[in-house]
Amino acid sequence: MRRRKQWVHPTKRVSRAITSNQQGSIVVEAAIVMPIIVFVLLIFAVILSLCSAQMALHSAANQSVRQLAAHIYPVELARVQAAAAAGNAIPSGPALPVPLPNWTDIAAEAAEWLPNPTGEFVSSVLRGDFRPVQNMAATELGRGVIEPFVRQYANTSLLRPERINLKRITLPDLKNKEDLYIAIELEYEYPFKVPFINKPIVLREQSYERVWLSDAIGAKTTDPNTGEKANVSLQIVTIEPSPLRPGNKATVVVKTKPGEVVSLEVAYKSGKSQAKHLGKATADENGYVKWTWHVSGNTTPGIWELTAETPDGASSVSKHFSVEKKGVVSP
C-alpha cells in the first residue's frame, strides 16, 4: 500500500529555507570576522607588552645610573690620592738591575679586587683610562663592566637581560668638576619583528644622575693690570626646571663678580638656540645673572649643554642639562 506524501504548507517551506540560509550566513560571517578579531587582540597584546618592556627598561636605566653615581665618590678619592702621590714622588736614585713596576700599575691591579663597578672605575682612573664627557660604551670598561652591571637591574619577567645593550655612557669630569653628571643610554631589541619587512623593534631609554662631589675652583682669567692669571668666580648656580620641558620656560642663574657682563649660549642637537633673552647680561650688585627663555616645543629630548662666558672668552663654564617630554618620569 502506498503512502501518501505528507502535504506541507507553502509558508512552512519558506520559513525552513529562510532558517537554513540564516545558519549558513552566520557560519560565513564567523569565518570572516574571527580572524580579524584575533588579529586585533594580538596587536593589542603586543602593544601592552611593548609598553611594559619600555617601562622596565626605564626602571633599569634609572636604578643603574643611580648606583653608578654612588660609586663615583671613592673614584674621586682615589684620583686625589693618586695626584698627591704623584706630587710627592721619590727622586730617582741609582739605576736598579731589575726595574720596579710603576706604583700606579700595582695600585690599579689591587683596585680590581674591589666590588664592581668601583674596582674597575678606580683602576681606570689610576691607569689614566677614565675619560670624562666622552662616549665610553665601546671601551673595555663599558662592554666588560658597565653593561653586565646594568643587566642585573633588568626585570627578568619583562626583559631578557642578554638583549640589553649599552648604547652610550658619559662619565663626570672629576678634574675640572664642570660637568658632574653621569649619563647612560640603553637599547633593548624586542623579541618580535615587524611583519612583512622583518625588521626588529629596538627600544631606547636614557637616564642621568648628578654626582655629588666638592665644588670646583672658580674659572681663571687674566688680570689686565698684572697680566697674571687670577681666580674669578664664574659658576652656574641653578637650571630650572630639571629636567627642561619642551614648550615651557627655563631659567638659568650664574654667579660672578658684580657688574660683570656674561653671555649665555645653549646648544641643542640642531645647533645653537636662537631663543630671545639669551646672550649677554650684566650681573646685579650681588653678582647674580639670570636668563629666562622659552624652550621650543620641537626641541629634541636628550642631554644638551649650555655655556656661560665672559665677552673676551677668557673665562667660561659649561654644564649639561636634560630635556624630557611631558609625561616622562625623570629619575
Q: Look at residue 230 and tell me whether its pLDDT is greater than 60.
A: no
Q: Look at residue 104 and tell me whether its pLDDT is greater than 60.
A: no
| Predicted pLDDT at 277 | 77
pLDDT in tens, 40-70: 888 888 889 889 999 999 988 888 888 878 7
Q: Look at residue 329 and tell me whether its pLDDT is greater than 70.
A: no
Q: 0.75 exceeded by the pTM?
A: no
Tell how many helices (H) and how many strands (E) occur in the chain. 6, 13
Q: What is the DSSP letter of 77?
A: H
| Predicted pLDDT at 17 | 54
Q: Look at residue 83 and tell me whether its pLDDT is greater than 50.
A: yes
pLDDT in tens, 131-183: 554 566 666 666 777 788 888 888 888 888 889 888 888 877 766 666 777 88
Q: State whether residue 68 is helix, strand or coil.
A: helix
What is the domain partition of the chain in residue ranges?
A: 43-87+102-210, 220-323
* Residue 101 pLDDT grade (very low, low, confident, very high; cuts 50, 70, 90): very low
| Predicted pLDDT at 89 | 43
Q: Across-strand partners of 19? A: none
Query: What's the grid cell of residue 162?
Result: 642578554
φ and ψ at residue 105, rounded to 5 degrees: -65, -40
| Predicted pLDDT at 94 | 41
* Residue 192 pLDDT grade (very low, low, confident, very high; cuts 50, 70, 90): confident
Task: Name the burial class of residue 165, with classes exposed (0-12), middle (13-18) and buried (19+) by CB atoms within 10 angstroms of its CB.
Answer: middle
Which superfamily, per CATH, for 220-323?
Macroglobulin (MG2) domain (2.60.40.1930)
Calculate the CA dihedral of residues 144, 146, 150, 151 and round it to 10 degrees: 0
pLDDT in tens, 232-277: 567 777 888 877 888 888 888 888 888 888 888 888 777 787 778 7
Angstrom distances, CA of residue 245 to CA of 164, 241, 321, 330: 28, 8, 11, 11
pLDDT in tens, 264-320: 888 877 778 777 878 888 888 878 888 888 888 878 887 778 888 887 777 778 887
| Predicted pLDDT at 113 | 41
| Predicted pLDDT at 86 | 54
Residue 308 in contact with residue 263, Cβ under 8 Å? yes
CA gap 84, 303 in Å, rounded? 34
CA gap 68, 184 in Å, rounded? 10
| Predicted pLDDT at 130 | 53
Q: Look at residue 226 and tell me whether its pLDDT is greater than 80.
A: no
CA gap 32, 24 in Å, rounded? 13
φ and ψ at residue 222, rounded to 5 degrees: -100, 130
Q: Look at residue 124 and tell me whether its pLDDT is greater than 50.
A: yes
| Predicted pLDDT at 219 | 47
